[in-house]
Amino acid sequence: MIIEHLWIKNFGKLHNRELDFGEGITVIFGENESGKSTLHTFIQGIFFGIRRMRGRAARNDVYSRFEPWENSSYYAGGIRFSCGGKTFRLTRNFSKESQRAELICEDDGELLSVEDGDLGILLGNISQVVYDNTVSVGQLKNQTGEGIVAELRNYMSNYQSDTEGQIDIEKAVAALKEKKREFDQARKEELRKQEELLNGLKGKLLFLEEERAELEAKISEAETRREGLRQGEGKADKKDRPLFLRAEHRGSMAVLLAGAVVIFLSILLLPGMIGEVTGTAAGLATIGFLFRFLKKSSRNPKEKHNAPEEEGEIQEEEKKLDWKLEHLREEAEEKDTFCENLKEEYRELLAKHSGEMTPLQEEIEGIDLAIATIQELSRTMQSKIGNRLKNQTSKILGQLTGGRYTQISISDEFRIHLNTGEHYTPLEQLSRGTIEQVYFALRMAVSDILCREEELPVLLDEPFVMYDSRRLQNTLKWLSENKQQVLIFTCQEREIEALEALGLEYHLVRL
């Protein structure tokens, strides 16, 4: 990609400015506060947009710092660049009230869509994090940020010999973890429902056992009552047996009565033998005796008449008790069957709850296995691409330092050590100038790896403040030989003098 032309309507302190650029090195020279950093930020904003922060962060975010005080609706600009043999025009309005972007291919007039990713394709599908930490070096920001470490790890994880960087491992793992979280929630809900079912079954079993105990008590009570009735019936038979025996002697009683009448008549008809008064008294006594005898005898037939009725009532009561017992036993048997079914259901549910593998558990274990597999493959790929990054950084650093430092090591935590010839020295123990060179070499090596689809212009805002003349010349020479377009923003003429001393071609833009 080559940036050919910029036009700025309103952006920070730049108003209605147009600038032209070409291939190779362009030095953008200007005094302090002339707008160099503003121009650098504008190019970044044109490609990636400017996001407005919220809350307190909005007070000093990029949007607020470069929003024009006047004519804020013209917070806009555009860029013309060539890419893949075609020329494109990209315009943006940064204003929050009318924010929009338009991308047109000037060769055929085709209107492309920034929202649908057409611009991202032209930029090689890199993120703003990659852009900021590789080809775009802000003022006093030579050191790479933490974000590029994550990007590098992700790229290393994605690296494959055939489809380099086509699968985002970090996103894939994140998606799997999110899916697992959903399954975990569903599993918890499943367990909660199973707990409710188990508790419900426990309650039903307790209730059935209480009902069964009540039925047993009723059965026992009915059996006791029936046994009592049977024993009472036997006693009644024994009690009534003398009455029946007396009834069998009714003939004898009749004979006695007839004899008594004869005696009474004899007394009355024999006055000569017995006195009148005495005979009368004897007759009356005989009559009284007969009356009492007959009265007493009359009771027994009545009692004998009531005995069969009582016996029938007892038998009827026994029948009712037998029916009730049969009904209670049937109900108890049904309760037993229902209780056994509930116990079986409870055992099955308990086994499922505590031991058996459910579909949700299988999904969760499958996701865990997938994550572990991806991470293991990721570590393998990281090792491969890590070696490539280390070798590329070492190669660039050797050219920047004139062969003095040609080998670095980068740990899994991205801690850098430099081989000084005697031992590996932690980067932070080296001079500031050497540290700046190492980070610059690392940036360029990362851009070679992450920006393979489209080589982007290198933008450097006051990057060589800590360089001496030798380091500066080595770096400018390397840029001239290895990069298609380089924009150097500076307030000093050191870069111009070094380029002229090296005899390198360059373009000069004064702000």
Strand partners, 257: none
Query: Which uninterrupted H or E stretch holds 93?
Result: strand 86-93
Mean per-residue pLDDT of the chain: 77
pLDDT tens, 296-313? 555 554 444 555 566 667
115 near 108, Cβ under 8 Å? no
Determine which of 34-38, 90-94, 115-119, 239-243 has the lowest per-residue pLDDT on average: 239-243
* 11: β partners: 14
Going along the chain from its start, the domains and CATH numbers come out as 1-125+453-511 (3.40.50.300), 178-356 (1.10.287)
Instruction: Give the pLDDT confidence score for residue 221 in this predicted structure.
Output: 81
Please state which of the ranges 126-130, 318-322, 436-440, 457-461 shows the lowest mean pLDDT: 318-322
Instruction: Give pLDDT, residue 377.
Output: 65
Tell me what the mean pLDDT of segment 356-364 comes to.
67
3-class DSSP assignment, residue 384 = helix
**In the chain, pLDDT over 90 holds for what percent of residues?**
29
Burial of 428 (C-beta count, 10 Å sphere; 0-12/13-18/19+): exposed
Q: What is the pLDDT of residues 442-459, one digit of tens each?
A: 889 988 888 878 899 999
What confidence score (pLDDT) does residue 219 get? 79
Pairing of strands 458-461, 136-137: parallel
User: How sure is the predictor about 465, in pLDDT bands with cuts at 50, 70 and 90?
Assistant: confident
| Per-residue pLDDT tens digits for 91-129 | 999 998 888 999 999 999 999 999 999 999 999 888 888
Of residues 15 and 282, more confidence is placed in 15
pLDDT of residue 244: 39
Residue 435 has pLDDT above 80, yes or no: yes
Lowest mean pLDDT, pick from 203-212, 224-233, 397-406: 224-233
pTM of the model: 0.58
Q: Which carries the bigger pLDDT value, residue 394 or residue 260?
A: 394
Report yes or no: 270 and 283 within 8 Å, Cβ to Cβ: no
